[in-house]
């Protein structure tokens, strides 16, 4: 993946986390993100139309708790419902996808997006995803997040 | 005059953000209804008086574009102002929606203040 | 009376005769809060977004950081009889000025944390003038509850 493409992906992710959840993104060396010892979520979606491809993001459960708390504007001592954690992360992926496609292909291109699907994964799956060449690693408010974009251009 | 609002989005958290915005923006509302997709929304519209609709586009079962088209086929429902809140960025699609009578389009990620301004413009203030 | 708010500072008033002013908002962010029912107002000038970069400093200078500063400003407003639903919030600053440490996005991040704290407190921003590369002077006139900006010699109501 080109540096320019990687920057475009990180910008879309950064813009989404900041505007949706008031959280700040920092690029890091992927090796720093191995085995954080928490529960993980992976969310996936695909797009079709003028071009096709897919987007995958993964993070920890704790990040999703912070994410939902921020999006909803809850007090620090309030916990979001468990059922909304995955939804919050799916929505991030959904928004990232919309921004990334507009940035890469322009606003005249037409796409159909699938609904993001989320699942819980273990350390092994986290590390496997981390080690893929196209996977980018970032910290979002000191929580690890992995992103990979697959463009069938 | 208090309004009834319908919020249509498969994302529960987005529905919660729009609901919270309506509540804290000083908008005079009576009740806020929710639906997870266009089909559910049409069921609500069949049973309740709705003054304003917020809708996403990309939803399972029935998306926002199809729902809006069906609203346009009904003499009464087509008069309800619709605000689209979506990640959709295709200019072609946005123009199609506006031709179907969509009053405003808000791109995700949005600031709640954008929602407030649009509602104030559409509904007006007492 | 004119109450001057310096950098990393807060000014509060419940007198109709006061004007609270802060100068040179570059990447810093200014937030004016006014409750027209309780007739209390305040203006803060924050430099950095998050206090976690220097917890010790944030205890001595809470208004330096948006997260501790704005929370403290809100508490003072509430202690003086203001209520969330009546507070009118206006925001200015957060410019993209290159600071000495080349942390380009300080201005944007200051603005983001303002949004975060206000959203948590169920307060929407009434009006704002943020970003760009200009330096702003901001002041709150207690008699009217209105907030003004002065930018390159030109005065505008926010």
pLDDT-based confidence at B126, cuts 50/70/90? very low
Distance of CA C38 to the CA centre of its chain: 19
Q: Do C119 and A73 touch (CB under 8 A)?
A: yes
Distance CA C77, CA C63 (A): 14
**CATH number of the CATH domain containing C35:** 3.30.1330.200
Q: Is A49 left (phi over 0), alpha (psi -120 to 50) or beta?
A: left
Distance CA B20, CA C121 (A): 11
Would you state the pLDDT for residue C103? Answer: 56
Q: Which of B16, B110, B112, B114 to mutate to test the interface with C (most CBs of C within 10 A)?
A: B112
Q: Which of A82, A85, A110 to mutate to test the interface with B (most CBs of B within 10 A)?
A: A110
Would you state the pLDDT for residue A107? Answer: 87
Would you state the pLDDT for residue C97? Answer: 74
pTM listed for this prediction: 0.95
Nearest to C115 among A22, A24, A74 (CB): A22
Q: How many domains does chain A have?
A: 1
User: What one-character DSSP code corresponds to residue A85?
Assistant: H
User: What one-character DSSP code corresponds to residue C49?
Assistant: S
Average pLDDT, integer, range C14-30: 97
Domain extent for C144: 2-157
Nearest to A107 among B14, B60, B90 (CB): B90
Q: How many domains does chain C have?
A: 1
Domain extent for A13: 3-29+36-151
Would you state the pLDDT for residue B92? Answer: 86
Would you state the pLDDT for residue C98? Answer: 63
Q: Say which residues have a Cβ less than 8 Å from residue B62's Cβ, sequence separation at least 6.
A: B37, B38, B39, B41, B42
Nearest to A95 among B91, B92, B108 (CB): B108
pLDDT tens track for A54-104: 999 999 999 999 999 999 999 988 999 999 999 999 999 999 999 999 999
Phi, psi at B80, each rounded to 5° = -75, 125
- Predicted complex: ipTM over 0.90: yes
Average pLDDT, integer, range C6-25: 97
Would you state the pLDDT for residue A108? Answer: 87
User: What one-character DSSP code corresponds to residue C87?
Assistant: -
What's the Cα-to-Cα distance from A22 to each of A26, A30, A80, B55, C118, rounded to whole Å?
A: 13, 23, 16, 23, 11
Distance CA A142, CA A25 (A): 8
Interface contact B61, partner C, CB < 8 A: no
- Strand order across the C154-157 sheet: C2-5, C19-25, C136-141, C146-151, C154-157
**CATH number of the CATH domain containing A133:** 3.40.1550.10
Interface contact B59, partner A, CB < 8 A: yes
Average pLDDT, integer, range C86-113: 85
Peptide bond into B26 cis (omega under 30): no
Distance CA C113, CA B12 (A): 24
Q: Which of C28, C46, C114, C130 is catalytic?
A: C28
pLDDT tens track for C51-70: 999 999 999 999 999 999 99
Q: Which of C88, C91, C124, C130 to mutate to test the interface with B (most CBs of B within 10 A)?
A: C124
- Report whether CATH 3.40.50.2300 matches the domain B3-123: yes
C46 annotated active-site: no
Would you state the pLDDT for residue A15? Answer: 96
Query: In chain C, pLDDT over 70 holds for what percent of residues?
Result: 96
Q: Do A22 and C112 touch (CB under 8 A)?
A: yes
pLDDT-based confidence at C99, cuts 50/70/90? low
Q: Out of A40-44, A127-131, B60-64, B93-97, which region has the weakest mean confidence (pLDDT)?
A: B93-97
Is-contact A21 A92, C-beta < 8 A? Answer: yes
Parallel, antiparallel or unpaired: strands A143-151 and B29-35: unpaired
Q: Please tell me whether residue A115 adopts helix, strand or coil conformation.
A: coil
Considering chain B, what is the average pLDDT of its residues?
93
Would you state the pLDDT for residue C80? Answer: 97
Would you state the pLDDT for residue C45? Answer: 98
Is-contact C158 C149, C-beta < 8 A? Answer: yes
Look up residue C17 and give its two tokens. 């005769």
Would you state the pLDDT for residue A19? Answer: 97
Give domain limits for chain B: 3-123
Residue C102 pLDDT > 50, yes or no? no
How many contacts, defined by CB atoms under 8 Å, are there between A and B?
63
Interface contact B113, partner C, CB < 8 A: yes
pLDDT-based confidence at C96, cuts 50/70/90? confident
Residue C110 pLDDT > 50, yes or no? yes
Query: In chain B, pLDDT over 70 holds for what percent of residues?
Result: 98
Q: Say which residues have a Cβ less than 8 Å from residue B11's Cβ, sequence separation at least 6.
A: A87, A90, A91, A94, B56
Q: Do C112 and A18 touch (CB under 8 A)?
A: yes
In chain C, which residue's Cα lies nearest the Cα of A16? C112
């Amino acid at each position: 993946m080109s540096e320019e493409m990687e920057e475009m992906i990180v910008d879309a992710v950064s813009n989404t986390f900041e505007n949706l959840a008031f959280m700040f993104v920092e690029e890091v060396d992927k090796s720093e993100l191995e085995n954080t010892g928490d529960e993980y979520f992976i969310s996936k979606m695909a797009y079709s139309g003028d071009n096709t491809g897919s987007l995958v993001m993964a993070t920890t459960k704790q990040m999703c708790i912070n994410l939902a708390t921020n999006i909803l504007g809850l007090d620090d001592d309030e916990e979001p419902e468990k059922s909304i954690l995955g939804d919050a992360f799916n929505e991030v992926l959904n928004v990232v996808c919309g921004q990334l496609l507009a940035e890469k292909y322009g606003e005249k291109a037409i796409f159909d997006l699938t609904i993001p699907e989320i699942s819980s994964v273990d350390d092994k799956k986290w590390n496997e995803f981390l080690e893929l060449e196209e996977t980018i690693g970032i910290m979002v408010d000191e929580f690890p997040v992995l992103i990979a974009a697959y463009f069938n251009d | 005059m208090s309004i009834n609002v319908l919020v249509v989005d498969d994302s529960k958290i987005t529905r919660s953000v729009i609901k919270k915005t309506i509540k804290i923006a000083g908008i005079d509302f009576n009740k806020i209804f929710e639906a997870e997709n266009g089909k559910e929304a049409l069921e609500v519209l069949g049973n309740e008086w709705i003054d304003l609709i917020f809708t996403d586009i990309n939803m399972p079962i029935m998306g926002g574009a199809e729902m809006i088209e069906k609203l346009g086929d009904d003499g009464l429902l087509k008069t309800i102002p619709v605000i689209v809140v979506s990640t959709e960025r295709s200019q072609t699609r946005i123009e199609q929606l506006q031709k179907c009578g969509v009053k405003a389009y808000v791109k995700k990620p949005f600031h709640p203040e954008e929602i407030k301004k649009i509602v104030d413009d559409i509904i007006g203030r007492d | 009376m004119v109450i001057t708010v310096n950098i990393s500072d807060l000014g509060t008033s419940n007198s109709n005769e006061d004007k609270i002013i802060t100068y040179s908002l570059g990447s810093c962010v200014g937030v004016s809060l006014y409750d027209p029912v309780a007739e209390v107002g305040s203006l803060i000038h924050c430099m950095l977004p998050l206090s976690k970069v220097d917890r010790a400093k944030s205890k001595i200078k809470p208004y330096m950081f948006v997260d501790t500063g704005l929370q403290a400003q809100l508490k003072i407003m509430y202690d003086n009889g203001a209520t969330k639903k009546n507070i009118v919030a206006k925001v200015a600053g957060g410019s993209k000025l290159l600071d000495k440490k080349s942390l380009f996005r300080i201005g944007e991040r200051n603005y983001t944390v303002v949004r975060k704290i206000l959203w948590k407190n169920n307060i929407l921003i009434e009006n704002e003038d943020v970003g760009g590369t200009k330096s702003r002077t901001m002041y709150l006139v207690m008699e009217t509850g209105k907030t003004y900006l002065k930018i390159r010699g030109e005065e505008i109501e926010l």
